[in-house]
Chains A and B, each alone.
Chain A
Amino acid sequence: MKPKKLFSYLFYVLLFLAFSCQKNDTTQIQNLNGGEVEVIGHQGSGLGTAHNALPPNSLASIQRAINGLNADGVEVDVEMSVDGELFLYHDKMLESLTDCEGCITGMLAEDLERCKYDVGISNTLGQAHYLVKLEDLLTLYQGTSYLFYLDIRFRNRCDESLDPDLDSLAQAIHELVTRLDMGFQIRAISLSVSLLQKLQVLGSIPELYLDSSYPEWVIEEAAKANFQGISISNDLISAAQVEKAHQLGLKVSLFDVKIRSNVISAISKHPDMLNTDNIELCQQVL
């Protein structure tokens, strides 16, 4: 094959790849948000990948999502320290992601504030990322319109056989949100019906989302408890079930939305928000 011919073939392959993608038709989305799908960054700007190496739930990751990518908001994981301070962290034990040992529910706030994400040179070229207090995060975004979905982790991670203190957890969240007067920006997600009911009684958070892997169950329970929505993996719910949730007045938040096929599949179900690891992709498709 002549060199010029080979190069021509390569050029046409490139053109084909560049223009073969079709934009998803999002003009007909029917949801409870008036046709708008909120793009919410999962744990900030998504789980760590080669494209986004910032630690999940770190301030840098959240700022990248909001200040940088202009996401509609972020979903963050919230746990309570032994002395009642709320911190952002996902994993069961601190040693999996930080230089501390133990668990959030077994440590004092002043010790947790010194915990540094153990990320190495590959992520941040020497910048340190510390555990973030929920109060510090919310204070930073007071007066803006960005949304914060608090995925409330309620179990005692040091000893899961102990009953979680749901009253204290709900009270701590309520007091913080009330003190900062940020209720309109806050949404709560939890696996626990009891915890959401306690927040419902306290009344400071306008939207409560029940999280589960069982779509039929979660739709029925959330509707029965008068919650405002459900949170579920995109892989586990069908378009018909999303429609059923909407008919019952429940908003639907879908997670596990990262690659192109997930995004297309999720949008085709007409959700109210995408809790995504790829904010840019979702924004482009929408």
Chain B
Amino acid sequence: MFFCRAWKVGNGGCLGVLFFCLNFLVLTPSFAQNMGTDSLPLLEWKLGSHVQFSHAGIGMGVGASVDFRHFRFYTGGRINFAKKYTPTKGPIGIEFSAAYFPILSENRVQSFAVATYQVDFSKSYCRTAACVRKMNTIHAYTIGYGMEIELGKGISINNSIQVGQYTERFYNGILQERYSTSGFNALVKLGVMVPVRR
């Protein structure tokens, strides 16, 4: 907390920055043993699910990914639970992420760098029916480090801690204008991946 005060980092940002640093220190040694890429299949398709906490709220997502050599590309849908109440009105969203495994280790534990883009949609609020309603969006751009643990049969669990920026774009149907605000975003994610075919 002392460092957070000294750096003037508050709220979730404090924990985000600290965990980011901690993750970096803990995971860096696991880059040690290089397995090489010759024995790997060219493309490996996986399905994944995760829970996460970020500026956008506590959410859950499902999606598909493809592993290509050192890279993993993931895309999927997501839904938030904490910030709002009725999921049919949102926020629901989509997510794209790209992960890079710098060294493919023979260990069960692997580390990776990851960049994520998420966008959530929800209906803007209007008390009267006559009001124009457009979508509210929350965009989140984050980068960070993660760790993946192979459990066997191709199933793996992973976590990542990312930092970046969010941009909220709300539409006000009464004033008929968009309002936008940006800020620091910390994203903590815990997920599971299963292979489509093994």
Residues on A close to B: CB < 8 A? 2-4, 6-7, 10-11, 14, 17-19, 21, 23, 36, 48-51, 53-54, 60, 63-64, 66-70, 72, 118-125, 144-145, 260, 263, 278, 280-281, 283-285
Contact = CB atoms under 8 A, between A and B. Distances in A.
A284 B85 contact: yes
Contact of A118 (B8, B53, B183): B8
Interface of B: 7-14, 16, 47, 49, 53-57, 60, 62, 79, 81-89, 122, 124-127, 153-155, 165, 168, 170, 172-175, 177, 179, 181-184, 186, 192, 194-195, 198
A53 to B, nearest CB: 5
A10 B127 CA distance: 36
B184 A72 contact: no
Contacts of B126: 70
Contacts of A48: 10-11
Contact of A23 (B86, B172, B195): B86
B14 A70 contact: no
Contact of B179 (A54, A64, A122, A278): A64
19 contacts: A3-B198, A48-B11, A49-B11, A50-B12, A51-B57, A51-B82, A53-B10, A53-B55, A53-B184, A54-B181, A64-B181, A70-B172, A119-B8, A120-B13, A122-B183, A123-B10, A144-B175, A280-B84, A285-B85
A120 B86 contact: no
Given A3-B153, A6-B192, A51-B55, A21 B86 contact: yes
A6 B155 contact: yes
Given A121-B9, A124-B183, 12 more contacts: A2-B153, A7-B47, A14-B62, A21-B87, A67-B172, A67-B177, A69-B125, A119-B8, A125-B165, A278-B83, A281-B85, A284-B85
Contacts of A69: 125, 170, 172
B62 A10 contact: yes
Contact of A3 (B8, B154, B175): B154
A19 B87 contact: yes
Contact of A123 (B11, B54, B122, B125): B11
Contacts of A285: 85-86
B119 to A, nearest CB: 16
B185 to A, nearest CB: 9
Contacts, number: 144
Contacts of A7: 47, 49, 194
A284 B84 CA distance: 7
A280 B125 contact: yes
A64 B179 CA distance: 7
Contact of B184 (A2, A10, A123, A260): A123
A277 B24 CA distance: 35
Nearest to B168: A68
A119 B5 CA distance: 10
Contact of B9 (A3, A49, A122): A122
Contacts of B186: 50, 122
Contacts of A63: 179
B149 to A, nearest CB: 15
A18 B93 CA distance: 13
Contacts of A123: 10-11, 13, 183-184
